[in-house]
Structure 1
């Protein structure tokens, strides 16, 4: 998939309100022919934007586009972090990893669309244009790799708390180690990667994706039960407000995690734990562990009560089992 050129971006802005615009009107605004407008409309569909064409009316986006306001978002972040914003990128995690480091303060990478978004275990993360929230934070942690146990769980807590700030009644839960669920359907995920270690400091990259407002057509590549915030919230905020809320909670969490580790978030995780007390199977490396989830430890390990005794699992993928 190619990138969006300046003329494509101008076209999106012109069509972002969901109203019809004639080909001649668009061509005049962009200084190109009606035939060139048609070609650019076709390009937008490559990025997951559904367009309608009606003879005598022109073109419009099937749903209005809510672009992130880069200036407003940086103002909300203030001096806590530096914002890097792009319309389209391959992966915000890849952008964060490519940054020359180490960094002195958190660096936040936000995009409207990822062409090669990644989930855990190399899975593709569906990232249609301006539909969801896609961002990564690169930040330094003292204490080296050993200080990172439970980081993905602390991130999950911070994101869950942000979503409940938008709606205190939102039934969000966490599935160890990195999924956010609402009523059992996935609404978001976390991907942690390491950018390198120098002099006892390790730079960590936290990737977060949260489903905002996504059509079934845009989500056709998702192979699990999913939901989005527009379907679950009483009132859906703008993507700028959503990004500011989630990022603010994470930027408040990071210094505390750096100083106290996951132990400071253990009680909060227990409140959101969506698998505790349930029958699970955990794929950890080449092992399949069957048992009942029994909470997590202060270092982020999942406790599983098996027929052979309690197992402590530090990495893997959890699936719920039917008793």
Structure 2
């Protein structure tokens, strides 16, 4: 097992972030003393925090604060929440303050025959990706941006339904914190109270007929703010609005506790082992839906999924199967 090395593209800002993370007011003088820099240098760092989209507040005559504080990711705290077998399956933990895309970075490692068992998290992504090329909005410290790399032998056919099984794992992790009304939307969304809470993006590399690798990317909304929230083009929800106070490090650890054993055993167990749990959480079971492709669409009644993770829809009395790479599911 490798020791984790936190990666900080903004290393000069991490100390001031940690000081302001408590949400209390700190004077420029006290910040300068703690950081060993001048008040002018402190002011320059605070301006950079504002450019990160953080709601820095100036309290006249007293100093500065981040209202509500920050729950920063911390490798030591995260590792403390890991249980066996996840603790043994995790090969390396990489934490970033800001990256383009954790999925893209981890794919790069896997293409160099590295990255197996590596978990990468970022406080913020500047080019986070969603399904079908959409952007994933991830304000600084506002969610969980997690990518997990894993190598498989035997070809991509062994991974049928994996994105749905990952959805089950996310739901199980959320249930540990008492998050209410968690549901799954085929093929890769986690919903809460009828709105999107998290998304899953799987990306593959290698020989798809023999030895291949997958990056499991997860974006989960914890506390979205202002401009970032307004940029989202679909109904969304975050954890702070339904179950405030969940520690991000504990939540990330819980996700890894469920995901790592899943990836280890998936080639043998397949999606069939998760199908019943998925069906119990199906957001659209028995409801009218539309299935949309580039060229046409179908209307029918959702009837869950089969053992491969294909969506089952009754269209004009005929049972039809749809696969995730081909179509999108919408409410009827």
Q: TM-score, normalised by structure 1?
A: 0.92
Distance of aligned partners of 1:245 and 1:84 in 2 relative to their CA distance in 1, 3 Å threshold: same
Matched residue SS, 1:156: helix
Alpha-carbon deviation of 1:114?
A: 1.0
Unpaired stretches in structure 2, ≥5 consecutive residues: 1-7
Distance of aligned partners of 1:265 and 1:19 in 2 relative to their CA distance in 1, 3 Å threshold: same
175, 183, 186: which one pairs with 1:176? 186
Aligned to 2:3: none
Aligned to 2:65: 60
Is structure 2 residue 211 aligned with structure 1 residue 201? yes
Query: Aligned partners of 1:262, 1:74: CA distance in 2, in Å?
Result: 28
Alpha-carbon deviation of 1:68?
A: 1.6
Matched residue SS, 1:225: coil
Aligned to 1:287: 296
Is structure 2 residue 153 aligned with structure 1 residue 142? yes
Could you give the per-residue CA deviations for residues 251-273 of structure 1, whole angstroms, max 9, x where no partner exists? 12222312121111111111111
Aligned to 1:88: 98
Aligned to 1:39: 44
Q: Is the 8 A contact 1:213 1:230 kept in 2?
A: yes
Alpha-carbon deviation of 1:104?
A: 8.0
Alpha-carbon deviation of 1:31?
A: 3.7
Query: Aligned partners of 1:280, 1:207: CA distance in 2, in Å?
Result: 26
Alpha-carbon deviation of 1:236?
A: 2.8
Query: Aligned partners of 2:180, 2:255: CA distance in 1, in Å?
Result: 15
Matched residue SS, 1:73: helix
Is structure 2 residue 101 aligned with structure 1 residue 120? no
258, 271, 275: which one pairs with 2:284? 275
Query: Aligned partners of 2:226, 2:280: CA distance in 1, in Å?
Result: 31
Distance of aligned partners of 1:219 and 1:6 in 2 relative to their CA distance in 1, 3 Å threshold: same
Query: Aligned partners of 2:225, 2:233: CA distance in 1, in Å?
Result: 15
Alpha-carbon deviation of 1:195?
A: 2.1
